[in-house]
Amino acid sequence: MKRLVLCVLLLATPAFAVQPDEILPDPTLESRARAISGDIRCPVCQGESIDDSNAPISRDLRIIIRERLVAGDSDAAVVDFLVARYGEFILFNPPARGANLILWFAGPAMVLAGAGLAAITLRRRRQGVEAALSSDEEARLATLMQDHAPRP
Protein backbone atom coordinates (compact mmCIF):
# COMPACT_ATOMS: atom_id res chain seq x y z
CA MET A 1 0.00 0.00 0.00
CA LYS A 2 2.84 2.39 0.84
CA ARG A 3 4.45 1.70 -2.52
CA LEU A 4 1.21 2.53 -4.29
CA VAL A 5 0.96 5.86 -2.45
CA LEU A 6 4.59 6.63 -3.26
CA CYS A 7 4.04 5.86 -6.94
CA VAL A 8 0.95 8.08 -7.06
CA LEU A 9 2.84 10.94 -5.41
CA LEU A 10 5.72 10.60 -7.84
CA LEU A 11 3.36 10.59 -10.80
CA ALA A 12 1.50 13.62 -9.44
CA THR A 13 4.58 15.84 -9.43
CA PRO A 14 4.76 18.40 -12.23
CA ALA A 15 6.50 17.23 -15.36
CA PHE A 16 8.61 19.88 -17.00
CA ALA A 17 8.87 19.79 -20.76
CA VAL A 18 12.52 20.81 -20.86
CA GLN A 19 14.40 18.09 -22.71
CA PRO A 20 17.81 16.86 -21.56
CA ASP A 21 19.44 18.11 -24.76
CA GLU A 22 18.26 21.66 -23.97
CA ILE A 23 19.83 21.86 -20.51
CA LEU A 24 22.92 24.05 -20.33
CA PRO A 25 26.08 22.65 -18.73
CA ASP A 26 26.55 25.84 -16.67
CA PRO A 27 24.13 25.62 -13.70
CA THR A 28 24.02 29.41 -13.31
CA LEU A 29 22.95 29.98 -16.91
CA GLU A 30 20.48 27.08 -16.67
CA SER A 31 18.85 28.55 -13.57
CA ARG A 32 18.58 31.93 -15.32
CA ALA A 33 17.03 30.22 -18.35
CA ARG A 34 14.51 28.42 -16.14
CA ALA A 35 13.61 31.65 -14.37
CA ILE A 36 12.99 33.41 -17.70
CA SER A 37 11.11 30.54 -19.34
CA GLY A 38 8.88 30.15 -16.28
CA ASP A 39 7.52 33.66 -16.89
CA ILE A 40 6.96 33.26 -20.64
CA ARG A 41 3.55 32.07 -21.85
CA CYS A 42 3.35 29.39 -24.53
CA PRO A 43 1.82 31.00 -27.64
CA VAL A 44 -0.03 27.76 -28.42
CA CYS A 45 -1.14 26.52 -24.99
CA GLN A 46 -1.66 30.03 -23.54
CA GLY A 47 -2.21 28.73 -20.01
CA GLU A 48 1.20 27.15 -19.58
CA SER A 49 4.68 28.50 -19.42
CA ILE A 50 7.10 27.42 -22.11
CA ASP A 51 8.90 25.50 -19.38
CA ASP A 52 5.83 23.27 -18.93
CA SER A 53 4.63 23.07 -22.53
CA ASN A 54 5.45 20.31 -25.00
CA ALA A 55 4.48 22.44 -28.02
CA PRO A 56 7.22 22.73 -30.69
CA ILE A 57 7.21 26.53 -30.46
CA SER A 58 7.86 26.31 -26.72
CA ARG A 59 10.89 24.15 -27.39
CA ASP A 60 12.11 26.70 -29.94
CA LEU A 61 11.64 29.52 -27.45
CA ARG A 62 13.50 27.62 -24.72
CA ILE A 63 16.40 27.07 -27.13
CA ILE A 64 16.40 30.76 -28.14
CA ILE A 65 16.52 31.81 -24.48
CA ARG A 66 19.48 29.52 -23.81
CA GLU A 67 21.32 30.63 -26.97
CA ARG A 68 20.95 34.30 -26.07
CA LEU A 69 22.11 33.68 -22.50
CA VAL A 70 25.18 31.82 -23.77
CA ALA A 71 25.83 34.74 -26.13
CA GLY A 72 26.01 37.01 -23.06
CA ASP A 73 22.61 38.75 -23.10
CA SER A 74 21.14 39.89 -19.81
CA ASP A 75 17.82 38.48 -18.60
CA ALA A 76 16.08 41.74 -19.50
CA ALA A 77 17.61 41.70 -22.99
CA VAL A 78 16.34 38.15 -23.58
CA VAL A 79 12.82 39.08 -22.44
CA ASP A 80 12.90 42.24 -24.56
CA PHE A 81 13.94 40.16 -27.59
CA LEU A 82 11.00 37.79 -27.07
CA VAL A 83 8.53 40.63 -26.52
CA ALA A 84 9.75 42.40 -29.66
CA ARG A 85 9.20 39.21 -31.61
CA TYR A 86 5.94 37.90 -30.11
CA GLY A 87 4.40 40.87 -28.29
CA GLU A 88 3.56 41.42 -24.63
CA PHE A 89 1.01 38.60 -24.80
CA ILE A 90 3.71 36.04 -24.06
CA LEU A 91 4.46 37.63 -20.69
CA PHE A 92 2.59 36.13 -17.76
CA ASN A 93 3.13 39.42 -15.89
CA PRO A 94 2.98 42.23 -18.45
CA PRO A 95 4.22 45.65 -17.32
CA ALA A 96 1.59 48.04 -15.94
CA ARG A 97 1.68 50.67 -18.68
CA GLY A 98 -0.36 51.73 -21.69
CA ALA A 99 -3.32 49.53 -22.57
CA ASN A 100 -2.24 46.99 -19.94
CA LEU A 101 -3.35 49.42 -17.24
CA ILE A 102 -6.94 48.47 -18.04
CA LEU A 103 -6.11 44.85 -17.31
CA TRP A 104 -4.21 45.68 -14.13
CA PHE A 105 -6.98 47.85 -12.70
CA ALA A 106 -10.08 46.01 -13.97
CA GLY A 107 -9.88 43.28 -11.34
CA PRO A 108 -9.49 45.55 -8.31
CA ALA A 109 -12.12 47.92 -9.73
CA MET A 110 -14.61 45.05 -10.03
CA VAL A 111 -13.87 43.94 -6.46
CA LEU A 112 -14.45 47.46 -5.17
CA ALA A 113 -17.66 47.82 -7.19
CA GLY A 114 -18.92 44.49 -5.87
CA ALA A 115 -18.06 45.44 -2.29
CA GLY A 116 -19.86 48.76 -2.72
CA LEU A 117 -22.93 47.06 -4.13
CA ALA A 118 -22.92 44.52 -1.29
CA ALA A 119 -22.63 47.33 1.28
CA ILE A 120 -25.54 49.25 -0.24
CA THR A 121 -27.68 46.10 -0.35
CA LEU A 122 -26.91 45.20 3.26
CA ARG A 123 -27.61 48.75 4.44
CA ARG A 124 -31.02 48.70 2.76
CA ARG A 125 -31.87 45.34 4.31
CA ARG A 126 -30.87 46.52 7.79
CA GLN A 127 -33.08 49.58 7.51
CA GLY A 128 -36.00 47.18 7.09
CA VAL A 129 -38.05 49.23 4.73
CA GLU A 130 -41.43 47.69 5.47
CA ALA A 131 -44.39 49.67 4.35
CA ALA A 132 -47.53 49.45 6.46
CA LEU A 133 -50.50 47.82 4.80
CA SER A 134 -53.30 50.01 3.65
CA SER A 135 -56.77 49.35 4.96
CA ASP A 136 -57.75 47.67 1.66
CA GLU A 137 -54.71 45.39 1.85
CA GLU A 138 -55.48 44.49 5.48
CA ALA A 139 -59.03 43.58 4.55
CA ARG A 140 -57.84 41.45 1.64
CA LEU A 141 -55.31 39.71 3.89
CA ALA A 142 -57.95 38.96 6.49
CA THR A 143 -60.18 37.46 3.80
CA LEU A 144 -57.36 35.28 2.49
CA MET A 145 -56.47 34.12 5.98
CA GLN A 146 -60.09 33.09 6.68
CA ASP A 147 -60.35 31.25 3.39
CA HIS A 148 -57.21 29.22 4.07
CA ALA A 149 -57.64 28.70 7.80
CA PRO A 150 -57.64 25.03 8.89
CA ARG A 151 -61.11 23.63 9.43
CA PRO A 152 -61.94 21.34 12.32
Q: How confident is the model at residue 133 (pLDDT cuts 50, 70, 90)?
A: confident
For the segment 21-69, what is each residue's pLDDT rounded down to a tens digit? 677 778 888 888 889 988 899 888 878 888 888 888 988 999 999 999 9
Q: Which residues of 100-117 are buried (b: 16+ CB within 10 A; e: fewer)?
A: eeeeeeeeeeeeeeeeee
Q: Where are the domains of the chain?
A: 12-90, 96-129
| Selected residue with higher pLDDT from 130 and 23 | 23
Query: Against a cut of 0.85, is the pTM above it?
Result: no
Q: What is the pLDDT of residue 105?
A: 84
Q: How many CB atoms lie within 10 A of CB 33?
A: 26
Instruction: Say yes or no to pLDDT of 4 above 70.
Output: no
> pLDDT tens digit string along 66-111?
999 989 889 899 999 999 998 888 888 877 777 777 877 888 999 9
CB 61 within 8 A of CB 50: yes
Distances in whole angstroms, Cα of residue 76 to Cα of each of 22, 30, 32, 82: 21, 16, 11, 10
Kindly report the CATH number that applies to the domain delimited by 12-90: 1.10.8.640
Instruction: List all residues 6 or more positions away from 52 whose beta carbon is below 8 Å from its beta carbon.
Output: 14, 15, 16, 17, 42
